[in-house]
Amino acid sequence: MIDLKLLRDNPEAVRTSQRTRGEDPELVDRLLDADRRRRDAIADADAARTAQNAFSKEMGTLMRTASDEERTRLREEGRRKAEALKEIEAVQAEAEAAVNDLQMQLSNVVEEGAPAGGEDDYVVLEHVGEPTTFDFEPKDHVDLGESLGLIDIKRGSKVAGARFYFLTGDGALLQLGMLQLAAQKARAAGFTLMIPPVLVRPEIMSGTGFLGAHADEIYRLEEDDLYLVGTSEVALAGYHSDEIIDLSDGPVRYAGWSSCFRREAGSYGKDTRGILRVHQFDKLEMFVYCRPEDAAAQHRALLEMEKEMLSAVEVPYRVIDVAGGDLGSSAARKFDTEAWVPTQQTYRELTSTSNCTTFQARRLKTRYRDADGRTQTAATVNGTLATTRWLVAILENNQQADGSVVVPEALRPFVGKDVLEPVR
């Protein structure tokens, strides 16, 4: 949730953010009104409590010398004041609930410089490498995966339904090697490796901002009231919920390796072939807790790590600055890296890195102590360092005319081969 002080001090900045996202700026004014009512209710309740305390003190003195009739009157007056205070406190609780509800509806304030618009209004920041060309008709990753014995979609669908698959043989080794390489790079950069839970409580899922407009993308176990994560960002964000963390030595960095689950409820008919858009995949996610003033620099640092990893697996890619309407509620700024997919003749997303500023930590009550010892809300930043869909770009960009695929040099120690040969 956003900082109410920012809302009060600069409401126009929040309205501008809402317009950049394509969301309702009137929500800002509704929250401002609710906040005023809440503060008035708090003042009324404080005044009523002060008055009641003063009366109780005075009543204690008067009761010692009062007649029976006067004592009865004093007790009745005390009862009326107590009931009146309860009513005022109920108004305060209702006002605070209204503020919290509206605050939870309001997306994070978009960072200055992010493009406005929707999914197609991104800005390309750079290209790395040239789109791969061939002097033969390239195969897509499905045909390559099947002929090389790497991917079995038919049996995945038989076992679990559409958008499921098996990674088999060298396909499993290719993914494990890619994730292992990412884990090594993360550890070398000072990240603590984590294998987090893939099931989380509702307050953790909500705290990260994933139970808003896209809640239908999440798998829920109703009987247990738990959610399957779509990214280990969720569990890592909850790791320090309701805690005061030590940032005196700089940011705290984690890298979470987990399976992830998405319903893909809004993608009917999109990317039904292959493993670009699936219900289950593996991912190594970087997650950083830092001071708010360090968040933008940490965001750029995660992007540089993603770029380094993409170069290591030898695929051409581009970096885009995601438009406000495509950020998701938690992110103030997001950079995506998109790899060239030869058979589709376009770039497809492989990683995202998001600066969530204090939005998630405020919801999850994650704080730190500043130089003066006062508690402040931390900032969170996240980014993907490797995930299953990378196999699409690796296979397609490194294929040869005979149907084989050259294994990127950085992955050869993990796969045990320089070239993957057709098995059928």
Active-site residue set = 262, 277, 349, 352, 389
DSSP-based three-state secondary structure for 386: strand
User: Residues annotated as binding site?
Assistant: 231-233, 262-264, 278-281, 285, 349-352, 382, 384
Distances in Å between the alpha carbon of 180 and those of 19, 193, 249, 288, 309?
41, 11, 27, 20, 11
* Tokens encoding 63: 């009761």
Q: Please state whether beta strands 243-245 and 366-369 pair in parallel, antiparallel, or not at all (unpaired).
A: parallel
User: Residues annotated as binding site for ATP?
Assistant: 262-264, 278-281, 349-352
Vertex 226 angle, CA 377 and 231, to 5°: 60
* Tokens encoding 36: 């005023």
Give the whole-angstrom CA distance, residue 104 versus residue 99.
8
Give the whole-angstrom CA distance, residue 74 versus residue 118.
65
Question: For residue 273, which amino acid is it?
Answer: R
List helix spans (H) across 225-269. 233-238
User: Residues annotated as binding site for L-serine?
Assistant: 231-233, 262, 285, 382, 384
Question: For residue 247, which amino acid is it?
Answer: L
Q: What is the CA radius of gyration of the chain?
A: 27
* Tokens encoding 141: 């990753």
Beta bridge pairs of residue 200: 227
